[in-house]
Structure 1
Amino acid sequence: MPEVYDPLTDPAPAHDVRAVLRIRAFRRLWIAFGLSSLGDWIGLLALTAMAKSFAGDDYQAANFAIGGVLFLRVLPALVMGPVAGWVADRLDRRATMILGDFIRAAFFVSIPIVGTLTWVLVATVLIEIVSLIWGPAKDASVPNLVPRHRLEAANQLSLITTYGSALPAAAIFTAITLVSRWAGALSNSTLFAIDLAVYVNAATFAVSGFAIISIREIGRAVHDHEDHPTLWRTMVEGWSYVTGTPVIRGLVVGISGAFAAGAVVIGLGRTYVEDLHAGDPGYGVLFGAVFGGLALGMGFAPRIFSGLSRRRLFAAGLVGSGICLAGLALIQQIEIATMIAILLGFNAGASWVSGYTLLGLEVPDAVRGRTFAFVQSAVRTVLAVTLAIAPFVAGAIGRHTYSISGHSVSYNGASITMLIAAVVAGVIGLLAWRQMDDRPGVPFWRDLRRSFGKTPGVYPTTGLFIAMEGGDGAGKSTQSALLVEWLQEQGQQVVLTREPGATDLGQELRRIILDPATGDISHRAEALIYAADKAEHVDSVIKPALKSGAVVITDRYVDSALAYQGSGRDLEVADVERVNRWATDDLRPNLTIVLDLPPKNGLGRFAERDRIEAQSADFHERVRNAFLELAAAEPQHYLVIDATQDRDDIAKQIRGRLQPLLPKVTTV
């Protein structure tokens, strides 16, 4: 019988990766996908090394052969992408993936047997066409294997696996080449090592195919009669939206730049390590360093630099990639180059994940699909152009030896091309910074320093603490009331409260802070009044209720202070956060629900406005962006909902996310 997943038996947070892996069908698909990704990276290393061997010692011919393999790796995506997706959507997905893995294994086995550069290039194209069909079939199967609230975690795990598997692939390739080198008895040990790596690669695809055979839950796509836009319409509308929106335009250019920086290293890596006399083992190490750093950046940069806004982290990662690429170009020692390559990958990964997060937050749902389609096409184009041009530029520059103070220094085409690319990447990063900086006037280094040493906070272990956040008029009070009604039907003890004004002291502070008659007061005084209300609120209401096992729902909490007094006013967010964390004894909600609504929609619901609601449109826009950035930094503790939806639809989404978190109801 297929495994039935019951979210009530798994109360882990929605973004808990371990909870996703407990789902048997997805776990098996993930293992198969990991093996396919591993084989993909081993294949890239082996085929570029094989192309270099076929080209011989000619520097230009070697670069052209490697460039041809890399270019043909991405060319099918540009030509066959839409067709491959159409095919994958009309075939049985499980059969498609099984057959695709076995076909790729067969093609890789054939490459050493035929043993010509021409067949390497032809097989590369054929393998990539099969991969283009296999990938959409896998992606389309995942939503049918996991609950909706675990889908984001499943996609994140797949993303990290895609790039993280490059590291073990590099280690396997390096180990194979080292063992073959140490054996030394073979007449052509280098070519033997490459052939062996290709066979290992074929084996990973074959094992992946056998693993998918056991996943019975994967089947044929279910087709609804929907109006699907044509490829041309999708591309035109995506292009129009991207070019007409400055922030999105900066994101797309920046994401493309991050991919180009990594592509330059991969495209030139083989000849670069040859210039350093590191050979195939050095190539494997450098390759693994770049993609290992990329996985680390995607997985940890947003958490490490949580004090930075996503826009600043995105631009800083681009500039950092350019600086690291310049260091890689100038360094002529493989050990130091490897460390720089890890930093390069980390910076590119930080920009990549920040950029995609921002796209998800900034792009309206109505045009999000076509915008992402445009971004993916742009990235593929940049990859193809970079992988094709970089080796040819390096080959055209050739080898050069310079005499400096009586010493001969070799500085060849690969390093010079990397240096040119580093300058371009740095310029793109600076342009993105100028266009996207959301904290002008606040020094970057001050933001960076406050990113470190942040405490994880205290989360309740009894009861459940929920905060309702969002701009004015977003519907927090309505949803809080609906949630209380539903929780009581579930047998839960519920306490509904608010800030400011839940205590006698809070009511007096609320009158002062919101009454238009109060007029202008110091922004620091305003922040301290709110903090005073929070201190009394936590000690008098929230903590006692949680201790008794109740579900506590508060209409506004610390995030409102960070958004309104930090980002809305001219105060340092770090200072506002420090005061409010101290005032609340660093007590944090188990879940913060952000009702996201454009300010003009929310404020239009008020006939009269209080002192805060009467602030400028720019003020409220900064507040909205701050809520979204806080949610993006710690998605495991947030639920962001489009508040333009019907109130019953919003309530349903809230209940779905909360259901696994609710305390068990004890009956007497």
Structure 2
Amino acid sequence: MTAPGRRRTTAHVLANAPFRRLWTAMSVCSLGDWLNILALTALAGNLTKGSDFRVQSLAIGGVFIAKMLPAVLLGPLAGAFADRFDRRLTMFFADLARFAVVLSIPLVGSYEWIIIATLLVECVNLFWVPAKDATVPNLVSKEQLESANRLNLLVTYGSAPIAAMLFAALSVAGDVMKNVVPFLSGMDATSLALFVNAFAYLVSAFLIFTLRDIPQRNGGISTPSVFKQIIEGWRYVGANRLVRGLIIGMLGAFAAGGAVVGVAKIYVVALGGGDAAYGVVFGAVFVGMALGMFFGLRLLRELSRRRLFGLAITVAGLVLVAIALVHNLAIVVMLTVVLGACAGIAWIIGYTLIGLEVEDSMRGRTFSFLQSTARVTLLLVVAVANPLAALFGAHRLELGDWSYQFDGSNLVLLIGGALAVVVGILALRHMDDRKGVSLSEDLIAAVRGERFRPEEAEEVPGLFVAFEGGEGSGKTTQSRMIAIWLRDQGFDVVQTREPGSTKVGMRLRAILLDAAERGLTPRAEALMYAADRAEHVEKVIRPALYRGAVVVTDRYVDSSLAYQGAGRSLDPDDVSKVNAWATGGLVPHLTVLIDTPPSVGLKRLGGAADRIESEPLEFHERVRKEFRALAAADPGRYLVVDGTLPPDQITRAIQDRMREILPDPVPQATEDVTGTMPAIRD
């Protein structure tokens, strides 16, 4: 049902003539930008081909530094310029300037001019991009903006493999033309690609010039410096353990990617490939990213997203090590596709989890921080990678008739792969939400389309459903409604709750929720909830499951992970281990999360607030984030329902999901262990 709606929205956005014209210009420019990267690095390598290996490494590294340096230094100036001047004319003259500069590169044909021209093109890009970004919201409605941004992202990265294939084809065509047309014999094969690149900018200039719907100014953009974004970003990221792990993992992947980008050209040459082979390897990365984004997540949909993130980066590192050691171009291309797939999986998981973890008011700054830090990381890595490759030089290892070439590009790739492996393992250990579950068994089960659960060996005949959510979310009401519905269907139902469903639990509940009990430490609180849960599982839940009943509980282990782990800032690994031991590893077949903003849920509560309800709003916000993160990490077990919907609509959504897992009903005596207790609030 969702996909057709998206197609209609996208088609409607492209039906907007001004946006369609701007989007076409963006597509042409993106293709030209990727073609520019390939052509300039290839040309730099070709101009120094007869030189020492060190000279060639430094020459290519200089191009990358020249491309990234202006963005770090002049980004704020370009953003301010876009706010003050006519954006249509800004983009038009920027395109004309890029056309003229790129056209001059093959005509001049010197390495020094490549560096100068690269700096000039990137400086001009800095004025074109913010003018374009500021223009899009003025051409589409608010309802269309998300679809418009999705299309912009598509052409920004989707044009990379097209540019790679075009560059490979143009390189071959350029070599043929040199042999057929005599006066072209002195021209480098990459010159044809640069001519096409210049023509792309000229086409974009024409499209922009004919676009009359761009307002002259709309002072809505403010672009702080890159370093200010990084400083402000770390203040926020440092306070969130999961986001910190995601950022470190993604920056580690960027660093490894920067090592690859920096030495790719000279490595392909060392393998005996030319410009066409370089284009194929470059395109293989983006083909792999597309495959990872679209198919990798589907193939491993039952694997925890947190685990998959760290695993993808680790595997990418191992593949990069293999690329560094293998001297077969065809195998390197195939491994590069795998490398790109791992990068695509990690990238989309990272962005998704950040979107879930970071509140809307901070999300834009967090993404801006990530992009700015990634830009600086790439600049530093590329600046170091090529000098390191040049310093190491080229070496041949010989042992009898066996010989092996190992040069600076191999060393850089090897170090990049090792860095990715270390970062991936750290991210996996930092973010693992399935402690105690074998990663290999978990992965094998995910490949089979199943979710591995150690407790499944018990093969209990009953069905276990847990309801989770914050204060006032509506979970208690919904758990009761579902219990009534199940009884009407003829099922043996045990409706229960935490804390307080046993005699010991009732005493623990009185202490845990007493608003006057302010001296209770977070660790003691976590242990008391675990003690209640141990009694609850042993005396209520397991006996009911063994006799084949459907157990519906209001709160379970995930509440401790959210309230004590995130709310009280305890180590989630410690909380998870304590509760796994207390429950004997018993996990619900389905967990229903009633996701309600704390500002809404707390207003629903009546009467005096208990000890947990009286916590500040920031506490409840952390709890909600952790619930959502747990659900995102285990989508197969969770049903997330918007708690602000009408109650009957929420109930129908839960019923629809439960029909998928319910066995055939066997009418038996019913039991409600909460029936003798006073009514409690959600």
TM-score range, shorter chain: 0.7 to 0.9
Amino acid at match of 1:16: R
Amino acid at match of 2:63: V
1:509 aligns with 2:519: no
Alignment CA distance shift 1:246-1:477 (3 Å): closer
- The range that moved more, 199-208 or 90-99, is 90-99
Alignment CA distance shift 1:233-1:207 (3 Å): closer
Partner of 1:521: 537
Deviations 1:455-475 (A, max 9, x none): 9xxxxxxxxxxxxx9713354
Partner secondary structure for residue 359 of structure 1: helix
Shift of 1:101: 2.5
Map 1:613-632; keep pairs closer than 5 Å: 625-628=626-629, 630=631
Q: TM-score, normalised by structure 1?
A: 0.73
Shift of 1:288: 0.6
Deviations 1:263-312 (A, max 9, x none): 22221111001101111111111111112222333444334332233322
Partner secondary structure for residue 411 of structure 1: strand
Alignment CA distance shift 1:125-1:625 (3 Å): same
Partner of 2:78: 84
Deviations 1:6-44 (A, max 9, x none): xxxxx8559825632431234443332222111111111
Q: Which of residues 20, 45, 51 in structure 1 aligns to 2:10?
A: 20
Q: Which of residues 196, 202, 206 in structure 1 aligns to 2:198?
A: 202
Q: Which of residues 333, 338, 346 in structure 1 aligns to 2:341?
A: 346
Q: For residues 51 and 350 of structure 1, what CA distance do their matches in structure 2 show? A: 32
Shift of 1:210: 3.1
Amino acid at match of 1:471: G
Partner secondary structure for residue 404 of structure 2: strand
Q: For residues 27 and 43 of structure 1, what CA distance do their matches in structure 2 show? A: 24
- Contact 2:75–2:225 (CA under 8 A) maintained in structure 1: no
- Contact 2:99–2:198 (CA under 8 A) maintained in structure 1: yes
Alignment CA distance shift 1:528-1:272 (3 Å): farther
Map 1:103-252; keep pairs closer than 5 Å: 103-148=97-142, 151-183=145-177, 184-185=179-180, 191-213=187-209, 215-223=211-219, 234-252=229-247
Q: For residues 83 and 305 of structure 2, what CA distance do their matches in structure 1 show? A: 34
Shift of 1:576: 6.8
Shift of 1:514: 7.1
Amino acid at match of 2:321: A
1:277 aligns with 2:272: yes
Partner of 2:416: 421
1:412 aligns with 2:443: no
Q: For residues 525 and 123 of structure 1, what CA distance do their matches in structure 2 show? A: 76
1:33 aligns with 2:29: no
Amino acid at match of 2:310: A
Q: For residues 93 and 207 of structure 2, what CA distance do their matches in structure 1 show? A: 12
- Contact 1:631–1:638 (CA under 8 A) maintained in structure 2: no
Deviations 1:339-396 (A, max 9, x none): 1111111111222222222222223444434333332221111111112221221111
Shift of 1:323: 0.6
- The range that moved more, 136-145 or 32-41, is 136-145
Amino acid at match of 1:162: T
* Identity in percent: 36
Alignment CA distance shift 1:326-1:228 (3 Å): closer
Q: For residues 529 and 600 of structure 1, what CA distance do their matches in structure 2 show? A: 36
Q: For residues 265 and 388 of structure 1, what CA distance do their matches in structure 2 show? A: 12
Partner of 2:454: none
Partner secondary structure for residue 286 of structure 1: helix
Partner secondary structure for residue 84 of structure 2: coil
Map 1:428-507; keep pairs closer than 5 Å: 428-452=423-447, 454=449, 471-476=469-474, 498-502=481-485, 504-505=487-488
- The range that moved more, 57-66 or 599-608, is 599-608
Q: For residues 139 and 526 of structure 1, what CA distance do their matches in structure 2 show? A: 59
Shift of 1:595: 2.9
Q: For residues 606 and 309 of structure 1, what CA distance do their matches in structure 2 show? A: 40
- The range that moved more, 131-140 or 145-154, is 145-154
Deviations 1:94-153 (A, max 9, x none): 333333233222221121122221111111111111212222233333344445455444
Amino acid at match of 1:120: I
- Number of aligned residue pairs: give it: 573
1:360 aligns with 2:355: yes
- The range that moved more, 92-101 or 600-609, is 600-609
Q: TM-score, normalised by structure 2?
A: 0.71
Q: For residues 525 and 217 of structure 1, what CA distance do their matches in structure 2 show? A: 70
Q: For residues 228 and 276 of structure 2, what CA distance do their matches in structure 1 show? A: 47
Q: For residues 548 and 146 of structure 2, what CA distance do their matches in structure 1 show? A: 35
Partner secondary structure for residue 397 of structure 2: strand
Partner of 2:572: none
Shift of 1:630: 4.3
Residue segments in structure 2 that go unaligned for 5+ positions in a row: 451-466, 503-534, 563-575, 611-617, 650-682
- The range that moved more, 322-331 or 248-257, is 248-257
Alignment CA distance shift 1:454-1:216 (3 Å): farther
Residue segments in structure 1 that go unaligned for 5+ positions in a row: 1-10, 456-468, 481-495, 535-555, 582-588, 610-616, 655-668
Deviations 1:201-251 (A, max 9, x none): 112222233334555544345347x99978776543323223344333322
Partner of 1:263: 258
